[in-house]
């Protein structure tokens, strides 16, 4: 596995750079869908009905659209976290722990702060504070890894994996002990409900999609702007492309590594904070399992471009949300969605296959399609 340092350091337009970056992933998805349909047919299913059910379950109604957006929100933030680290030449495998830690401390501020203060806080203060504390939790957890990488050379893959274990097991202790909901009817490891003043409002009444989805889209644009239009973004990309050259050019490589990991953890912590304040209104043990690891696949599929991450997140969210409807219509196992995801990632990772099949060549900064299937 190798971080995405392929983007040229001179910045390109948001849409043009995204289109160039997404050509191969788009064709990988198309090829995977075709092969997935063949697999469905082999197991005596109807691929057209299966994909119809998948689309209907994901986008076929206001509720379906809402649920897809709900799934996509943490995916976007976690995917951006991993993608930003990739741009800096780092592998943040710890988004799972950073996300869970952000959710835990957000829940703590959400339900306990009014009791600590002895009075209720207005929503205009309590909600932002709850989110900011969750963001800070994720940022702090990732910054530790960045410091170890910068000053001891400790490999961030090993350290983030170990930090995941520490975070998740510590959270398990807290949710089964000091932070557990003491309601006599509660038998599972979860916090009490957060106060009403710490809850993010829904965008549409009766639907679960909340303003965190809009915030996720805005954040994707901010990350693109940061990477392509600011000095810090240039330094992050420079260190990711060649840390020795960056050091020779006068960039503080150690500081940049720490800042990159901190920003990455910040985004992952935001994902956890918004799941608490906008959706679940508490933190429950195991709610986030898989988000951090799916984020790695999303960042790879999106070629570490913020717009690509958004599109890949919506794709993964749609497959997750539409899987139940697909299963209902076809009686096929829901595990076929995992097979489809695996095929997509296979073709993205082994992009030489896609480039050969579709005759894709790179001309300067442009990626062009020179011939058709098998050409």
pLDDT number for residue 1 = 45
What gap in Å lies between CA 87 and CA 138, rounded to an integer?
A: 19
DSSP letter for 375, please. -
Among residues 343, 348, 375, the alpha carbon closest in space to that of 359 is found at: 375
pLDDT in tens, the chain (375 residues): 445 444 445 555 556 666 666 777 888 888 888 998 998 898 888 889 989 998 999 999 999 999 999 999 999 999 999 999 999 999 999 999 999 999 999 999 999 999 999 999 999 999 999 999 999 999 999 999 999 999 999 999 999 999 999 999 999 999 999 999 999 888 899 999 999 999 998 899 989 999 999 999 999 999 999 999 999 999 999 999 999 999 999 999 999 999 999 999 999 999 999 999 999 999 998 776 778 888 998 998 888 999 989 999 999 999 889 888 888 888 888 788 778 878 887 887 777 788 888 877 665 545 555 554 444
pLDDT number for residue 200 = 93
Residue pair 131/277 in contact by the 8 Å Cβ criterion = yes
Residue pair 131/270 in contact by the 8 Å Cβ criterion = yes
Class of domain 14-369 (CATH, top level):
mainly alpha
Residue pointed to by tokens 């963001």: 135
Spans of all domains in the chain: 14-369
Convert 64-88 to b/e letters by CB count within 10 Å (16 or more is b). Answer: bbbbbbbbbbbbbbbbbbbbbbbbb
pLDDT number for residue 362 = 60
Residue pair 269/77 in contact by the 8 Å Cβ criterion = no
pLDDT number for residue 353 = 82
pLDDT number for residue 44 = 83
Cβ neighbours for 171, distance < 8 A, ≥ 6 positions apart: 100, 101, 104, 283, 285
pLDDT number for residue 335 = 80
Tens of pLDDT along 182-202?
998 888 999 999 999 999 988
For 286, the token pair is 């195991």
């Amino acid at each position: 596995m190798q971080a995405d340092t392929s983007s040229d350091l001179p910045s390109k337009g948001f849409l043009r750079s995204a289109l160039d970056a997404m050509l191969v992933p788009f064709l990988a998805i198309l090829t995977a869908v075709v092969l997935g349909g063949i697999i469905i047919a082999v197991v005596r299913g109807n691929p057209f009905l299966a994909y119809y059910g998948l689309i209907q379950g994901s986008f076929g109604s206001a509720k379906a659209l809402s649920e897809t957006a709900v799934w996509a929100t943490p995916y976007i933030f976690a995917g951006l976290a991993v993608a930003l680290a990739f741009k800096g030449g780092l592998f943040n495998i710890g988004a799972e722990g950073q996300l869970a830690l952000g959710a835990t401390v957000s829940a703590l501020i959400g339900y306990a702060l009014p009791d600590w203060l002895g009075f209720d806080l207005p929503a205009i203060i309590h909600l932002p504070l709850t989110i900011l504390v969750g963001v800070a939790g994720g940022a702090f957890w990732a910054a530790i890894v960045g410091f170890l990488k910068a000053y001891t050379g400790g490999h961030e893959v090993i350290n983030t994996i170990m930090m995941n274990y520490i975070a998740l097991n510590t959270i398990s202790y807290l949710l089964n002990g000091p932070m557990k909901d003491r309601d006599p009817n509660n038998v599972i490891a979860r916090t009490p409900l957060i106060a009403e003043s710490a809850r993010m409002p829904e965008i549409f009444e009766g639907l679960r999609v909340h303003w965190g989805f809009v915030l996720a889209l805005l954040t994707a644009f901010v990350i693109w702007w940061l990477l392509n239009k600011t000095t810090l973004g240039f330094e992050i990309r420079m260190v990711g492309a060649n840390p020795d050259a960056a050091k020779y050019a006068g960039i503080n490589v150690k500081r940049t590594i720490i800042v990159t990991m901190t920003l990455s953890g910040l985004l992952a912590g935001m994902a956890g904070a918004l799941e608490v304040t906008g959706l679940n209104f508490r933190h429950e043990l195991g709610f986030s399992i898989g988000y951090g690891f799916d984020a790695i696949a999303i960042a790879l599929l999106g070629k570490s471009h913020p717009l690509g991450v958004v599109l890949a997140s919506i794709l993964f969210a749609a497959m997750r949300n539409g899987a139940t409807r697909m299963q209902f219509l076809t009686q096929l196992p829901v595990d076929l969605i995992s097979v489809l995801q695996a095929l997509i990632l296979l073709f993205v990772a082994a992009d030489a296959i896609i480039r050969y099949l579709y005759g894709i060549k790179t001309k300067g900064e442009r990626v062009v399609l020179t011939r058709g299937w098998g050409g």
